[in-house]
Amino acid sequence: MDNKIEAALVKDFPELFRDINKPMTETCMCWGCDCGNGWEPILRRAFNQLYDIEPPIVLDQVKEKYGGLRIYYHGGPRAKRRWFGWIFWLPGLLFGIKHNWRRLPRSLFHCFRVANVNTYKHSIDVVQGIVDAAEAESFRVCESCGACGAPNHRGWISTLCGKCRAK
């Protein structure tokens, strides 16, 4: 991504880009947004939504991979264990044993969801939803110019429009 375009993103979303000046041993953000200019509107839209999340999100890596956008991050809402959460494990275990051993892992996982609670303003899933939507959209947008595009099916995969692919 061009320095000018990236600098504007960094300026508008300083919290998200908090790690951009850290060394490469600590973060991949030292490479900046490692994708074409065409995806800037997708990133800006996603960053606008991520910027509102409490506690704050910090980007770890933004790059192109296999023709799609990848956004890695840390921070954001995390589940907290209820102090009485352990009580929920017993019914899960008993149900699993009584009905079907093969269902035990799923049964325990369900009880894990009940035993943990999100104590933050935003849902845990909302962050991954924003990221997933941006990544999915990138497969329909030319990475180079931002027009409608599609991934190729042979060789090095990239998502481009007809004009940019012909170049």
Closest CA to 124 of 57, 36, 41: 57
Interacting residues with Zn ion (CB under 5 A):
142, 144-145, 147, 161, 164
Q: Closer CB to Zn ion, residue 138 or residue 144?
A: 144
Q: Closer CB to Zn ion, residue 11 or residue 167?
A: 167
CA distance 78 to 97: 30
Q: Closer CB to Zn ion, residue 7 or residue 147?
A: 147
Q: How far is CA 17 from CA 96, 124, 160, in A?
A: 45, 21, 27
Q: How far is the CB of 128 from Zn ion (least distance, A)?
A: 28
Does 55 sit behind a cis peptide bond, omega within 30 degrees of 0 on the bond before it?
Answer: yes
Q: How far is the CB of 44 from Zn ion (least distance, A)?
A: 18
- Which residue has 């929920």 as its token pair? 88
Q: Closer CB to Zn ion, residue 123 or residue 152?
A: 152
Q: How far is the CB of 23 from Zn ion (least distance, A)?
A: 34
